[in-house]
Amino acid sequence: MAAGQSPYAVVLSCIDSRVPPEVVFDAGLGDLLVVRTAAHTVDRLVTAAVQFGPQALHARLVVVLGHQRCGAISAAARALRERETLPGELPSIVAAVEPVYTGSGGEVDAMVRAHTVRTVASLRADALLSGKATTVVGAYYSLDTGLVRRVA
């Protein structure tokens, strides 16, 4: 493995310490190309990192992994509800999940699922990820049960 890698999937997930994709999916070294951001938010650099899997390493699957009780989405929901401006760069997380806030009634779990579906849609629309060789799916990880269920 030191000579090269061929991960079979890219996982875009949250930074939450309870949701390390390699552990969640019982994967080993070299199995997954993992990209993690707060609330699995996406910008150009994150998109580039996701693209790297299929383009450079021929990974065929991209999984967007949301999770139960997401602290980043909880904080964003609270900031939106209370019209609070978070410090530093944190408002960029709020802005990224704001499109699903109203439709989810501000409920965190519904926001996680809607944000996952929305992220999948945006990655499926990406020119480098929309080919037949790459499948983009969305999933939800339950902290309570340890189960991952597909949501998109």
DSSP SS3 for 79: helix
| Shortest Å distance, C-beta 129 to Zn ion | 22
Cα 105 to Cα 3, 26, 112, distances in angstroms = 50, 34, 12
* Binding stretches for Zn ion (CB under 5 A): 14, 16, 70, 72
| Shortest Å distance, C-beta 135 to Zn ion | 23
**Which tokens in the block code for residue 152?**
């998109």
Residues 6+ apart with CB under 8 A from 11: 21, 25, 32, 33, 34, 35, 62, 63, 65
| Shortest Å distance, C-beta 118 to Zn ion | 15
| Shortest Å distance, C-beta 71 to Zn ion | 6
Judged by beta carbon, residue 40 or residue 54, the one nearer Zn ion is: 40
Judged by beta carbon, residue 72 or residue 152, the one nearer Zn ion is: 72
Judged by beta carbon, residue 10 or residue 108, the one nearer Zn ion is: 108
Residues 6+ apart with CB under 8 A from 7: 30, 31, 32, 33, 53, 57, 59
Judged by beta carbon, residue 13 or residue 134, the one nearer Zn ion is: 13
Chain centroid offset of residue 91 CA:
18
